């Protein structure tokens, strides 16, 4: 019996090793993600969200380390970063895309009693849908201002039930679960990503995409303004500089009353305004 179990374990390890090696060799970008504190029931949801974008495989850390050691990543530091409960990810997305996608793909879970609140946990004013009875006392025990309205209990005002950094009490955890409030966002937490012989740590990848794009756009506009006013010609500044030169030349021509197709209408309009002003002045003097 012992020999059969040992044989089965050996076969499983070999199978797992081959799966991880195949994953590593199949993608240009390989990542390690921590599963610490990640509920197993949410793993299927994350895998589904990543379908078509990335392949995720969970295995024993020693198997993953051996697979990395026997792959194209053997000289990288990714193996050293593979420790604890982890998953290995293969993808064609660049490291920043992968980090951002995982960040947006987090699932929700209920707050557990004893955990430290990562932020203020709030219950909004709402009709709980719960009938009067034991639930009324439970809601009050969690610090909520409640009232029976019709056939159900209502929370009459927003209430922070646990401050950031404070342990969630059993009463609060129970109430949040009853109200189906799942405030905790959980997901695969990237540890590091390998691409083109470089290792990118999660701290480097965690950027605000919208703010970064806004900063780039602002920097582009600033550089374009400098180029235009300094007379530096490039693909972006040249059309603007030509338009600017045209407007300035046209303004000089109009002021000098140099008639040409582009200025004739403006010069005539200017002459008409001057004539109208002179006519009004003559009327005033004769009045």
Rounded distance between C-alpha atoms, residue 24 and residue 39, angstroms: 25
Q: How much is the mean pLDDT over the chain?
A: 85
On whether residue 66 sits in a domain, the answer given is yes
Upper half-sphere CA count for residue 228 (Cβ side, 13 Å) = 15
Amino acid 286: pLDDT:
63
In this predicted structure, the answer to whether residue 4 has a pLDDT above a threshold of 50 is no
Tell whether 15 and 133 lie within a shared domain: no
On whether residue 115 sits in a domain, the answer given is no
Tell whether 164 and 193 lie within a shared domain: no
Rounded distance between C-alpha atoms, residue 129 and residue 139, angstroms: 12
On whether residue 179 sits in a domain, the answer given is yes
On whether residue 114 sits in a domain, the answer given is no
Tell whether 272 and 140 lie within a shared domain: no
Looking at the structure of the chain, the number of domains it has is 3
Q: How far is CA 144 from the centre of its chain?
A: 33
Mean pLDDT for the stretch of residues 94-118: 86
The helix (run of H) or strand (run of E) holding residue 222 is helix 209-230
Amino acid 100: pLDDT:
87
pLDDT, one tens digit per residue, over 163-174 is: 999 999 999 999
pLDDT, one tens digit per residue, over 177-213 is: 999 998 888 778 889 999 998 999 988 888 766 777 8
Task: Indicate the pLDDT class of residue 284, thresholds 50, 70 and 90.
Answer: low
Amino acid 202: pLDDT:
87
Rounded distance between C-alpha atoms, residue 51 and residue 121, angstroms: 32
Tell whether 131 and 16 lie within a shared domain: no
Rounded distance between C-alpha atoms, residue 93 and residue 171, angstroms: 43
Tell whether 6 and 66 lie within a shared domain: yes
Amino acid 215: pLDDT:
82
Tell whether 99 and 200 lie within a shared domain: yes
On whether residue 156 sits in a domain, the answer given is yes
On whether residue 18 sits in a domain, the answer given is yes
pLDDT, one tens digit per residue, over 41-61 is: 777 777 888 888 899 998 899
Tell whether 70 and 195 lie within a shared domain: yes
Mean pLDDT for the stretch of residues 96-102: 88
Domain residue limits at 178: 121-183
Alpha helices by DSSP H, the chain:
2-26, 40-50, 61-69, 78-81, 95-104, 134-141, 170-178, 202-205, 209-230, 237-255, 264-286
pLDDT, one tens digit per residue, over 133-172 is: 899 999 999 999 999 998 999 999 999 999 999 999 999 9
End of a domain among 168, 183, 198? 183
On whether residue 6 sits in a domain, the answer given is yes
Amino acid 144: pLDDT:
93
Tell whether 7 and 58 lie within a shared domain: yes
Tell whether 55 and 194 lie within a shared domain: yes
On whether residue 173 sits in a domain, the answer given is yes
Query: Coil, strand or helix: which one is 89?
Result: strand
In this predicted structure, the answer to whether residue 6 has a pLDDT above a threshold of 50 is no
- Contact between 85 and 63 (Cβ < 8 Å): no
Tell whether 215 and 240 lie within a shared domain: yes
Tokens 């990810």 belong to which residue?
89
Mean pLDDT for the stretch of residues 61-75: 89
The domain that holds 157 is classified in CATH as 3.90.105.20
Rounded distance between C-alpha atoms, residue 105 and residue 190, angstroms: 13
Interhelix angle 237-255/209-230, nearest 10 degrees: 40
In this predicted structure, the answer to whether residue 2 has a pLDDT above a threshold of 70 is no
Task: Indicate the pLDDT class of residue 127, thresholds 50, 70 and 90.
Answer: very high
In this predicted structure, the answer to whether residue 287 has a pLDDT above a threshold of 80 is no
Q: How far is CA 211 from the centre of its chain?
A: 10
Tell whether 47 and 163 lie within a shared domain: no
What torsion, rounded to 10 degrees, do the Cα atoms 35, 37, 43, 49 define?
-80
Amino acid 23: pLDDT:
93
Tell whether 85 and 192 lie within a shared domain: yes
The domain that holds 39 is classified in CATH as 3.30.70.1730
Rounded distance between C-alpha atoms, residue 128 and residue 159, angstroms: 14
């Amino acid at each position: 019996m012992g020999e059969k179990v040992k044989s089965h374990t050996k076969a499983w390890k070999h199978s797992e090793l081959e799966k991880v090696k195949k994953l590593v060799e199949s993608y240009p970008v390989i990542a390690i993600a921590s599963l610490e504190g990640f509920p197993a029931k949410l793993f299927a949801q994350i895998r589904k969200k990543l379908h078509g974008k990335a392949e995720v495989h969970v295995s024993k850390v020693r198997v993953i380390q051996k697979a990395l050691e026997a792959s194209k990543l053997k000289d990288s530091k990714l193996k050293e970063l593979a420790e604890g409960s982890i998953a290995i990810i293969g993808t064609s997305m660049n490291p920043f895309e992968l980090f951002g996608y995982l960040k947006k793909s987090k699932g929700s879970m209920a707050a557990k009693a004893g955990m430290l609140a990562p932020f203020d946990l709030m219950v909004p004013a709402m009709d709980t849908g719960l009938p009067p009875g034991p639930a009324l006392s439970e809601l009050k025990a969690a610090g909520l201002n409640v009232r029976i309205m019709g056939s159900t209990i209502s929370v009459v005002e927003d209430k922070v039930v646990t401050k950031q950094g404070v342990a969630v009490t059993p009463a609060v955890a129970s109430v949040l679960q009853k109200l189906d409030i799942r405030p905790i966002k959980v997901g695969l937490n990237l540890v590091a990503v390998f691409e083109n012989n470089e290792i990118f740590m999660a701290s480097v990848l965690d950027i605000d995409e919208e703010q970064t794009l806004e900063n780039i756009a602002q920097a582009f506009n600033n550089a374009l303004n400098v180029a235009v006013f300094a007379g530096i010609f490039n693909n972006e500044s040249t059309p603007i500089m030509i338009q600017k030169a045209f407007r300035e030349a046209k303004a000089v021509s109009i002021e000098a009353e140099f008639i040409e197709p582009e200025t004739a209408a403006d010069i005539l309009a200017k002459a008409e305004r001057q004539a109208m002003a002179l006519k009004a002045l003559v009327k005033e003097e004769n009045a």
